[in-house]
Structure 1
Amino acid sequence: MLAPVFSLQLNNKVFPRTFSVGKFNGKQPCLVGATAGDKVQKVFIHSPRDTNPQSQQLEGNISLVNVNQVVTSLACGQLDEQLQRDLLVVGTSTNIIAYDIDRNVDLFFQDTQDGAHAIIIGKWGELPEQLAIVGGNCSIHGFNKRSEDVLWTVTGDNVSSLALLDFNSDGYNELVVGSEDYDIRVFREDQLIADMQESEIVVSICPLSNARFAYALSNGTVGIYERSNRNWRIKSRNIAIVLQTFDADGDGVDELVTGWSNGKVDIRSDRTGEIIFKDSLNSSIAGVVKADYRVPGENLLICCTNEGEVRGYKFSAQDAVAAAAYAYKNSQEALTYVKFSHPAANHVREYITVPIIIPRDVSIDLHLQVFVGMKTSTLFHLFELSRQLPVFSMYMLVENSLDTEPKGFVTFSINERMSRILVWINHHFLFAEEFSPNMASLYVTFLCVRTDLKLVIKMQNTGQVRIQTDDMELAGNIIQSLGKFLKIENLQTVVDFPQEFEILEQVFYQIEAYQNARQKISSDMAEHASVIRNFLIRAEDARLIGDM
């Protein structure tokens, strides 16, 4: 498992997805990223001063490079292989700049009318040179070390992420492109050889082994493709900022590392998607890289947040139980630990029931860890499983009953088939098996196990939908979830919540009573003030005439 080995503060904010690492002198890795200056944006270069791996605080040296425009992307790599050191390529909305940090000179400055939303450095196809591949507005350019545009092609929309990998196992790198039109496209030089449609903007792509790659979407989805076939995917309520690979368990195979918008960093099995390590930082992750940053030849996983907090991890052969305990101890999420001892033989069952109460209607990542061993064991066999509970998992399917239906309702009309609504219900509610009623119209009733309130969903073949519940907040959540699933931006609804109106009327009655009491108190105060004023005048007159 992984163990943290150092942490440091850059004292500079870091823009998301602009964090990288490069060996600008050919030997010592340096952290690099985009940050905000006093009047212009800058790129910082952090080189460690202390190489003691036991040090917990590390200041090092920070150099700043002024960039007179908004930095949209950056990358480090050996664009000129003869130099045997990395160069820094910075992209803005109008140009790209290649810096030789070691000599403090610009290698080239190239205008890019389509902008530079993503940059990657490497070999593409059968071209012999290293290229700085730049993704912009519907275009992809490949620049060599002489700033020559040696390869150019077009894509469907603004490019949001790039990755190089041998997609078809021909011995040459293909370019995998994620764009804002929800597509993942694969190019062999300027030829499109594969196209995968997703459900949201592709924000990050990371190459894996054996013609596989990981992807992250702007709606919190993370998954893995093997060529054009999706192996698995998961979805979180948080946004995945960046993807990386790292061997977290020492088996020689890299696992998938994801940095999230809530500061969480998790490592999943590239085969199943199950979480094997997790930690949390104090703010949103800006970037994740790997390099022999502290000890030459020993790769570290380095995570950086938007606030400039950097934390480094390395593989440790410590006991798996202790490693898991450390990871979850530092997690900011609420966890429930349940300990069971072995019961008597006549009380052994094949299952254990553990109650889980979710306080709000949100999607929950459920992580199960079972430690199995003898009473006197110091080492345990660990079984781990991760599952995602849907948004409305606290609602149980019950029998329909017209007599006990809620009085509050929302009605609206949509131009969708009933099968699409059934897909939404199966994705957002929890069922033991797929819910597929055999009826001409939809009529389903749920009971909230948290509040004992009923929820009724009805739909006619005409597209008329009626949602019945006495909880106005729940009705709003249902409308928002359904609208997002069906991609509905504007929806006219008719609502009536009698219980809410009764509560509102009671509030108005209370306000009116408070208002009457306030007016009476104000009137009494004015009357008493008048009496006191008269007494003061009479007392002053008495004082003046000496009649006290």
Structure 2
Amino acid sequence: VFVHNPYRDPVSHPSSRLLSSIESDITFLNIGQHISALSAGCLDIPLAKDVLLVGSQTNILAYDIDNNKELFHNEVSDGANALLVGSHLRNKEPLVYVGGNCSITGFDKDGCDRFWTVTGDNVHSLSILDFNLDGHPELLIGSEDFDIRVYKDDELLCEISEADTVLSLCSLGHNKFGFALANGIVGAFSGENKLWRSKSKHFPLMVTNYDMNGDGVDELVTGWASGKVDIRSLDTGQILYKDVFSSPVAGITKADYRQDGKDELICCSVDGELRGYVPSVSNEKSLGSDSLLQELSQRKSNLLLELKNFEITQHIGESVEPDIEISKVNTAVGVIPVSTQIKTDFCARIGKEDEQPHIALIVETTNNIPIQTVTVFCDGLFDGESFVVHPSSDKATTKVEIPLLPDKDITYDLAIKTFVGNPNSSQFHVFETSRRLVKFCLYVPCPVDTKPLPLGNVVFNINERLDRVKSFIESQFLYGLGENAVLSPNLEVAYMSLRTNTPVFIKVEPSKNNKVTVTSDDMDLVGDIVQSMAENLGIEDLQSVAEFPKHMCDLKEIMNKIEEFHQVRETLSAEIADHASIIRNLIVRAEDARIMSELKNMKMAYMQLYDLNREIIRGYEIRRSNHMELLDCLKIVNQTVQKATRLRVGKPKTVCTSSCRSAIKDMNQDALIKAILCGTT
């Protein structure tokens, strides 16, 4: 780790900076491992001094640079992909949050574990802000499964699904935050509402906040793999300032580097080029004026073009006799009947041998005017975020069908633009419509006695009327209750998944204290239904009992593998320690032989060193392979725990997480399985 401090006073701290140094203000800290995350922050409020935090794939180090002292050095089995100093807990105790392999761990100033939870995939980014404006900060987590999760204390408050891996998050004040995705998208949210987004062909590496124009409102700063650094308006996403490095951006931060009481924006490239930026009020005024002028000019051009089209259409309409059909008119100007409208609908397609089951979006006109083009925009549903159907002019019809196959069970908002007009028209009428694709759209009703019956299920009780449960099903499933549903005395519905071709059953028994049973072998799906039902019905606390034999059998195998990997790791560590002792002896023998001019003995010693070195390299490769397999197994365990927590809501969910954490620490398989199925040990 390279540390630069031009303000260090060697007289005040004569014993500090014991790290290797090439200049008086530059020091180096040798970690000895690949560094996967780097951060700094204050963990001890009374001292009011930042500490350096270094993360690797196996450890986290907290280091006091001023006193050249290690504060704590902890092992993190899930690795450290992201580090953040702050607090989202009620006691406001500063923690260093470590985002790793499907888990987040919080350590205090002494290195004690104060917070732990699991998430759906590897964590790439962390941030803290008051997401729901309740006066208490929440923890934001961005991960590889395209989700941004918001945690309030130990409870999952909200999930926002994006179109790709969430690489970076940053707070922009109040409940606003910026984000960067692996597909080149950067943008900003205000709570759950997206303010804007912008897509680039380049790869964003990181985002941070900085008030560049001095107006008291932070802008979004983005560093790109192309070497570009741009600063965007929080409200619109318009670029206010940009600069370009000759190599990719390595890091961006803000700090009072010049010690003048004002923070500067500091950017560093991979090649080591460092640039600092300060706010410029004058630039903000000119950029704001240019922006307003450009926006007004564009609006004027659009209005003039629209006016011209209206005038041409009116002129053609006045010159045509009333009894002449539209089709006989020169349709180059795009004249269509005023009664033309667009209808949209969804329909399930079971699929054929050469066609995958899917949901079809049907777009059609209300008369015989053909559809020339349909463009559908939706985040996360299509690879390019849009889908275009443009048939040849001789094949244009009044009806277009677009296949939809969501990867995840979430709600999608579709923005549809339909171009309508006759084939020989040079201008088309554009109809803009929007439709919402419900969360469980890929599940079509099937008979409640469908066989075979899944072995997995979750059972819980709710204090709600049966009509409200029916309303929930009607609003979240594309076909609602369906014609096969049993409505009395118990509510029983069954659905077949178009994605996996497996059934899911929901049964509500009012006579048994509103007992709800959700049956499916898909633990993720059951968790989604439980969470969606709790949100829709306003349930704050929900305890459940689950049964997933296949998942638990797989989990036992994984836990056995983890024990084996830990044993192999300990054996390899012991062998490395033995080899280190032998190496020291061989080096001493070789050096003694050299001094005594005993070349034969010296050669033998070095040959033994060479052979031993090859054994160490082989042992390292085995240890590396063992570690990677261990991480894969730990990821599966953490994901299973995360699935188990989604079967509960509120306090029972927190208890389940804590119980699973304790069982994993103790490597207690029985306790872990009990915590997953029953919510507690």
TM range (shorter): 0.5 to 0.7
- Structure 2 distance, partners of 1:228, 1:324, is 28
By how many angstroms is 1:202 displaced?
0.4
| 1:379-409 C-alpha deviation (Å, 9 max, x unpaired) | xxxxxxxxxxxxxxxxxxx99xxxxxxxxxx
User: Of residues 154, 164, 188 in structure 2, which corresponds to 1:224?
Assistant: 188
Residue 13 of structure 1: aligned partner:
none
- How high is the TM-score relative to the length of structure 1? 0.52
The 8 Å contact of residues 277 and 324 in structure 1, kept in 2 or not, is answered as no
The 8 Å contact of residues 249 and 269 in structure 2, kept in 1 or not, is answered as yes
By how many angstroms is 1:113 displaced?
0.6
Matches within 5 A, 1:113-128: 113-128=77-92
- Structure 2 distance, partners of 1:60, 1:306, is 23
By how many angstroms is 1:152 displaced?
1.1
1:149 aligns with 2:113: yes
By how many angstroms is 1:428 displaced?
7.2
State percent identity of aligned pairs.
Answer: 44
By how many angstroms is 1:204 displaced?
0.2
By how many angstroms is 1:124 displaced?
1.9
- Structure 2 distance, partners of 1:350, 1:179, is 43
Residue 175 of structure 2: aligned partner:
211
Instruction: Give the direction of change, closer, same or farther, for the CA distance of 1:237–1:429 in structure 2 (3 Å limit).
Output: farther
- Structure 2 distance, partners of 1:319, 1:159, is 37
User: Of residues 71, 74, 88 in structure 2, which corresponds to 1:107?
Assistant: 71
By how many angstroms is 1:291 displaced?
1.2
By how many angstroms is 1:440 displaced?
4.8
- Structure 2 distance, partners of 1:260, 1:104, is 34
Instruction: Give the direction of change, closer, same or farther, for the CA distance of 1:151–1:319 in structure 2 (3 Å limit).
Output: closer
- Structure 1 distance, partners of 2:107, 2:153, is 13
The 8 Å contact of residues 128 and 137 in structure 2, kept in 1 or not, is answered as yes
User: Of residues 138, 148, 164 in structure 2, which corresponds to 1:200?
Assistant: 164
Greater share of helix:
2
Residue 69 of structure 1: aligned partner:
33
1:427 aligns with 2:386: yes
Stretches of 4+ aligned residues off by more than 3 angstroms: 317-325, 349-352, 412-422, 424-431
Instruction: Give the direction of change, closer, same or farther, for the CA distance of 1:428–1:212 in structure 2 (3 Å limit).
Output: same
Matches within 5 A, 1:464-543: none
- Structure 1 distance, partners of 2:100, 2:77, is 8
1:439 aligns with 2:420: no
Residue 3 of structure 2: aligned partner:
45
Q: CA RMSD in A?
A: 3.7
The 8 Å contact of residues 375 and 388 in structure 2, kept in 1 or not, is answered as no
Matches within 5 A, 1:49-448: 61-318=25-282, 351=301, 415=356, 419=361, 422-423=375-376, 427=386, 438-440=398-400
Bigger mean CA deviation after superposition, 309-318 or 136-145: 309-318
AA partner of residue 98 (structure 2): V
- Consecutive unaligned residues in structure 1, runs of 5 or more: 1-42, 51-58, 326-337, 339-348, 353-397, 400-411, 445-548
Instruction: Give the direction of change, closer, same or farther, for the CA distance of 1:182–1:351 in structure 2 (3 Å limit).
Output: closer
- Structure 2 distance, partners of 1:281, 1:144, is 37
Residue 502 of structure 2: aligned partner:
none
AA partner of residue 63 (structure 1): T
Residue 518 of structure 1: aligned partner:
none
Bigger mean CA deviation after superposition, 416-425 or 153-162: 416-425
AA partner of residue 139 (structure 2): L
The 8 Å contact of residues 265 and 279 in structure 1, kept in 2 or not, is answered as yes
Identify the structure with bigger relative contact order (alpha carbons < 8 Å, sequence gap 6+): 1
By how many angstroms is 1:170 displaced?
2.1
Matches within 5 A, 1:453-468: none
- Structure 2 distance, partners of 1:310, 1:60, is 19
| 1:39-75 C-alpha deviation (Å, 9 max, x unpaired) | xxxx11012369xxxxxxxx98321100111111111
- Structure 2 distance, partners of 1:238, 1:92, is 27
Q: 1:66 aligns to what SS in structure 2?
A: coil
| 1:214-259 C-alpha deviation (Å, 9 max, x unpaired) | 1111111111121122221111111111111111212111111111
Instruction: Give the direction of change, closer, same or farther, for the CA distance of 1:414–1:235 in structure 2 (3 Å limit).
Output: farther
- Structure 2 distance, partners of 1:183, 1:290, is 27
The 8 Å contact of residues 46 and 60 in structure 1, kept in 2 or not, is answered as no
| 1:176-215 C-alpha deviation (Å, 9 max, x unpaired) | 0001111110111211010111111100000112211111
- Structure 1 distance, partners of 2:190, 2:285, is 32
Residue 409 of structure 1: aligned partner:
none
- Consecutive unaligned residues in structure 2, runs of 5 or more: 9-22, 303-332, 335-352, 363-373, 377-381, 391-395, 403-418, 420-681
Q: 1:177 aligns to what SS in structure 2?
A: strand
**Alignment length, in residue pairs?**
316
Greater share of strand:
1
AA partner of residue 313 (structure 1): Y
| 1:492-543 C-alpha deviation (Å, 9 max, x unpaired) | xxxxxxxxxxxxxxxxxxxxxxxxxxxxxxxxxxxxxxxxxxxxxxxxxxxx
Instruction: Give the direction of change, closer, same or farther, for the CA distance of 1:193–1:437 in structure 2 (3 Å limit).
Output: farther
AA partner of residue 386 (structure 2): H
- Structure 1 distance, partners of 2:253, 2:286, is 25
- How high is the TM-score relative to the length of structure 2? 0.42
The 8 Å contact of residues 49 and 60 in structure 1, kept in 2 or not, is answered as no
